[in-house]
Amino acid sequence: MVRFAPSPTGYLHVGGARTALFNFLFARHHGGIFILRIEDTDQKRFQAEALQEIFASLKWLGLNWDEGPEAGGERGPYFQSQRTALYRRHAEQLLAAGKAYRCFCSEERLARMREEQEKAKMAHGSGYDRHCRLRPEAEVKALLAANAAHVVRLKVPDNRVVVFNDLIRGEISYDSSQLDDLVLLKSDGFPTYHLANVVDDHLMQITHVLRGDEWIVSTPKHILIYEAFGWPPPHFAHMPVILAADGGKLSKRRGAASVLDYQRSGFQPEALLNFLVLLGWAPGGDREIMTLDEMTAAFSLQRVSAKAAVFDETKLEWMNGHYLQQRSQESLLPEVMACWEKLLPPPPAVLADQAYAKKVIGLFKERSKKIIEIAENSGYFFRDPAAYDPQAARKYFKSETISILELLAEKLAALEPFSHEALEGLYRQVAEGLGLPAGKLIHPTRLAVSGVSFGPGLFEMLELLGKETVIRRLQSAGNWIGTAAGKEE
């Protein structure tokens, strides 16, 4: 029984996605249940759009949750904001048992305290000074009667060494003197992450907590809360962080970071997933390309690394290219079409020709790593080139090219059928007739027809473009070279 518990304060980033993935894999591998729980206990930072984005990201990746929002389940509700009564009840329970106390300290006092501690560069121990822990009972009653704002804090025992066995890192121990009396219930009646997390994990029967390693220092606090309740703590495993290429934190600035950004820039979910799983985990041996099922079968926490990993976008792109090659032209059509429509306003009439569009995709798929590249590089299949790449024009458009282009246009007009085999035959024949290498014909033709010096095989390209279009473009290129514009180049 595991859970992924994001906080809806922003988009789902790739680090979160990997945590979700590892939880998913662990659950599936062991035949367990994967719960999605929303930790929305901070109303100040809550964003409704973030929630939708998290759902969309997870669904896109195929990390479907067994229980949670939309899916339902017996352990709900799955929004912490809908469980506040539960947390309050549990806080009361701790209060009654003398394991927690009410704290009436103002934010100002706490801020001042922190400042002084900072100044004093305290040798060890920091955090709350336990001012209210020692407050006389009568005083507390009076304050309570006066409705004074307060929080509930945990009484952290002195001189305790809290030890836990992290499934990835091994034994980790903390001295309780390092821990301050953490807040369980905020003055607005909402629980803190710590309380809600422990109460929910227990009530939802979570057996394994797999989360990011920024939580590792919070774990002893959580264990103390479990202890205060008299509950057995679950197993913990802390996943390493994912860093940006410069070794810093991943953010919108450094790499896309957001899962949906990767979707938008045309990445395949399989590729992102496969790439992500390799960040911090390897099945052993040389295996890298894996389906979700294969990952599931091979997954084990013992093989998860404790080391932070850099998100190498170049490798992601390579992997995406790999997965892109496996997609059929047919299945790619809607996505590429959407890109074309954006890239080529107003949409040219030829776009409606799906059979044609599919063939274009076929020509570009293998030389692309992302869907968007297919669309970006194939504009000339729908519209005559608006300009010629200047550098290529200097190289391939010479004054003598005009006559070559004219000759080719003439021969092409008579060519039947207009197939790539026939085209190639014709080109070789003409080249031979002129005593020129075929490249002298091919390169100028490519530039004339596409405006650029790279792309699919020329003859396949010409065949698809069709006789009329090719001849028209050959002629206008010839004219262009002849004009002042052409000569200036």
Partner RNA sequence: GGCGCUAUCGUCUAGGGGUUAGGACGGGUGAUUCUCAGUCACUAAACCGGGGUUCGAAUCCCCGUAGCGCUGCCA
Residue 467 designated active-site: no
x-or-dash pattern for RNA, window 24-63, by CB under 7 A? ---------------x-xx--x------------------
How does strand 100-103 pair with strand 151-154? antiparallel
| Least distance in angstroms from the C-beta of 338 to RNA | 22
- 3-state SS class at 126: coil
Stretch of 67-75, 188-196, 401-409, 476-484 contacting RNA, by CB under 7 A: 188-196
Q: Distance of CA 114 to CAs 42, 120, 150, 202, Å?
A: 22, 10, 18, 33
Alpha-carbon gap, residue 218 to 197, rounded angstroms: 11
Q: In the set 85, 293, 307, 345, which binds RNA (CB under 7 A)?
A: 307
475 contacts RNA (rule: CB under 7 A)? no
- A 10 A CB-CB count for 62 gives 12
| Least distance in angstroms from the C-beta of 345 to RNA | 26
Residue 327 is given by DSSP the state: S
Alpha-carbon gap, residue 128 to 117, rounded angstroms: 10
- 3-state SS class at 174: strand
Residue from 252, 315, 342, 487 carrying the catalytic annotation: 252
Stretch of 304-312, 381-389, 410-418, 477-485 contacting RNA, by CB under 7 A: 304-312
Stretch of 49-57, 85-93, 277-285, 477-485 contacting RNA, by CB under 7 A: 277-285
CA dihedral defined by 410, 414, 416, 422, rounded to 10 degrees?
Answer: -40
Q: In the set 24, 78, 267, 459, which binds RNA (CB under 7 A)?
A: 459
- Closer residue to RNA, CB minimum distance, 9 or 469: 9
Using an 8 Å Cβ cutoff, are 372 and 265 in contact?
yes
Q: In the set 366, 406, 410, 468, which binds RNA (CB under 7 A)?
A: 366
Binding to RNA (CB under 7 A): which residues in 95-114?
Answer: 105-107, 110, 114
Q: Element (H or E) spanning 406, and its range?
A: helix 401-414
Strands (DSSP E) contained in 298-372 are 309-310
Look up residue 488 and give its two tokens.
Answer: 């200036």
Total residues binding RNA (CB under 7 A): 87
384 contacts RNA (rule: CB under 7 A)? no
Alpha-carbon gap, residue 361 to 220, rounded angstroms: 55
72 contacts RNA (rule: CB under 7 A)? no
Using an 8 Å Cβ cutoff, are 11 and 56 in contact?
no
| Least distance in angstroms from the C-beta of 300 to RNA | 11
Stretch of 24-32, 51-59, 223-231, 306-314 contacting RNA, by CB under 7 A: 306-314
Q: In the set 132, 167, 309, 426, which binds RNA (CB under 7 A)?
A: 309
Alpha-carbon gap, residue 434 to 405, rounded angstroms: 13
Binding to RNA (CB under 7 A): which residues in 115-134?
Answer: 121-128
**Cα 353 to chain centroid, rounded:** 34
Output the CA angle 453-458-459, nearest 5 degrees. Answer: 170
282 contacts RNA (rule: CB under 7 A)? yes
164 contacts RNA (rule: CB under 7 A)? no
- Closer residue to RNA, CB minimum distance, 180 or 376: 180
Count of CA atoms in the C-beta half-sphere (13 A) of 194: 22
438 contacts RNA (rule: CB under 7 A)? yes
192 contacts RNA (rule: CB under 7 A)? yes
401 contacts RNA (rule: CB under 7 A)? no
- Closer residue to RNA, CB minimum distance, 252 or 487: 252
Using an 8 Å Cβ cutoff, are 192 and 184 in contact?
yes
Binding to RNA (CB under 7 A): which residues in 230-259?
Answer: 240-241, 243, 247-249
Which residues are catalytically annotated? 252
